[in-house]
A and B are shown apart, each in its own frame.
Chain A
Amino acid sequence: MTGKRILGGYALLAYVFLYAPIAVVVVLAFNGGRDVLYWEGFSTKWFGEALRTPEITHALKLSVLIALGNALVACVLGTMLALALPRMRPWVRVPVDALAYMTLVTPEIVFAISALVFFVQAGARLPWVENPLGWQTILIAHVVFNASVVALVVRARFVSMGQTLEEASYDLGAGPLSTFRQVTFPRLAPAILAGGLLAFTFSFDDFVTSFFVTGPESETLPIYIWGQLRFGVTPAINATAAMILGFTLVAIVVAYVVLRRTAQGREGTAMPGV
Chain B
Amino acid sequence: MTDSEAEVTKRRRGGARAGAGGPRYPGWLALPAVGWYLLFFLVPLGIMAVTSLGEIAEDSYSDIVYSWTIDNYRYLWDDFAGDTHLYRDIFLDTLKLSVIGTASTLVIGFPLAYYIARYAKHKTLLLFLVIVPFWTSFLIRAYAWLILLDPEFPLFRALGLSGFVESHELLNTPKAIYIGVAYNYLPLMVLPLYAALERMDWSLVEAAQDLGDSPLRAFRRVTLPLALPGVLAGSLLVFIPLTGEYIIPVILGGNKTFYAGNLIAQQFLESRDWPLGSALAMVVIGALTIVLLVYARVLGRQERYG
Contacts and interface: CB of A to CB of B under 8 A. Distances in A.
A24 interface: yes
Nearest to B18: A87
Contacts of B145: 21
B3 A174 contact: yes
Interface stretch (B6-14, B72-80, B85-93): B6-14
Given A10-B115, A248-B136, A273 B34 contact: no
Given A17-B183, A39-B154, A162-B21, A83 B131 contact: no
Contact-size category for A: 35 or more
Contact of A7 (B24, B114, B245, B288): B114
A274 B237 contact: yes
B178 to A, nearest CB: 14
Given A21-B141, A107-B241, A173 B33 contact: no
B187 interface: yes
A85 B281 contact: no
A115 interface: yes
Given A25-B144, A249-B132, A256-B128, A151 B243 contact: no
Given A21-B144, A83-B29, A108 B111 contact: no
Interface string A83-116: 1111110001000100110110111111101111
A36 B153 CA distance: 9
Contact of A107 (B42, B183, B288): B288
A170 B13 CA distance: 11
Centre residue among B23, B111, B115, B155 by max chain A CB count within 10 A: B23
Interface string B104-133: 000010011011100110001011111111
B21 A167 contact: yes
Centre residue among A10, A118, A226, A233 by max chain B CB count within 10 A: A118
B32 A77 contact: yes
Interface stretch (A43-51, A54-62, A127-135, A200-208): A200-208
A178 interface: yes
B37 A28 contact: no
B150 A144 contact: no
A103 B268 CA distance: 21
Interface string B19-40: 0011111111110111011101
A11 B112 contact: yes
A176 B24 contact: yes
A153 to B, nearest CB: 12
B152 A37 contact: yes
Nearest to B140: A241
Contact of B51 (A15, A117, A174, A229): A117
B22 A212 contact: no
Given A167-B21, A170-B15, A233-B143, A121 B47 contact: yes
Contacts, number: 279
A76 to B, nearest CB: 7
A177 B124 contact: no
Contact of A270 (B112, B124, B245, B261): B124
A87 B25 contact: yes
A229 B47 CA distance: 33
Contact of B23 (A17, A115, A163): A163
B167 to A, nearest CB: 13
Given A245-B140, A249-B136, A166 B24 contact: yes
Nearest to B191: A273
B164 interface: no
Interface string B261-297: 1001100100000100110010011001000000000
Contact of A158 (B23, B36, B155): B23
A109 B246 contact: yes
A231 interface: no
A109 B250 CA distance: 13
Nearest to A162: B21
A193 interface: no
Contacts of B215: 3
Given A87-B25, A110-B264, A245-B136, A208 B281 contact: no
Centre residue among A117, A162, A174 by max chain B CB count within 10 A: A117
A176 B240 CA distance: 39
Given A24-B147, A118-B40, 11 more contacts: A18-B130, A28-B147, A80-B33, A83-B29, A107-B243, A107-B288, A118-B44, A170-B24, A201-B136, A241-B137, A241-B140
13 contacts: A25-B140, A25-B143, A36-B147, A88-B30, A92-B27, A107-B240, A110-B264, A114-B48, A117-B51, A141-B40, A184-B25, A208-B247, A212-B268
